[in-house]
Amino acid sequence: MSDGFSIGAVLQGQMIVDCPHCNETIDFNAERCRFCGHPVDRKAAQSAAELLAEISQACNAASHIASFVGISVAFSLLDFFSLLFIPFHNMLPGTALTGVLLFVPVLALRWKIRFGQIVSQYPDFRNARRTVTVSGIVGGLLLCFILFLSVLTLIRH
């Protein structure tokens, strides 16, 4: 038998958790499970609620990192194509992006340190973890690519 609560979901601000006894979803604030009458363990429910809050923060932070990378990718592509069509185009936007992109691996690393040890099968959290890993890799590759293009541009000048 499971000894703790697992995360249910947050519905319209109401916190719900899974009853460890019968597995039905119940209100976090209830005294007893309304299905089997099992008393709700305040401490377990509290830590389940805290974990849920932590997970929702982790998901938010992950989507920020992802949109950061998405915007950077869009601008880099724009920059790359203008480089193809306008010879000796100066890499000014690219150079500015390099500075911005330097933050992506830092943000991804900070996320891993802060939320990396959370153990949860909650699908949103697993997605968030994957998003951060992919963002870190894409951001890092993009950074190398921009640095490479910048060096190339310098040589051509």
In the bound state with Zn ion, the residue whose beta carbon lies nearer, of 35 and 148, is: 35
Which two structure tokens, joined as six digits, stand for 131? 């998003």
Size of the site for Zn ion (CB under 5 A): 7
In the bound state with Zn ion, the residue whose beta carbon lies nearer, of 38 and 110, is: 38
Distance CA(125)–CA(57), nearest Å, equals 10
Least separation, in Å, of the C-beta of 39 and Zn ion?
10
Q: Is 38 in the site for Zn ion (CB under 5 A)?
A: yes
Q: Is 112 in the site for Zn ion (CB under 5 A)?
A: no
In the bound state with Zn ion, the residue whose beta carbon lies nearer, of 35 and 80, is: 35
User: Is there a contact between 91 and 147 (Cβ–Cβ < 8 Å)?
Assistant: no
Q: Is 19 in the site for Zn ion (CB under 5 A)?
A: yes
Least separation, in Å, of the C-beta of 21 and Zn ion?
4
Question: What residues make contact with Zn ion under the rule CB under 5 A?
Answer: 19, 21-22, 33, 35-36, 38
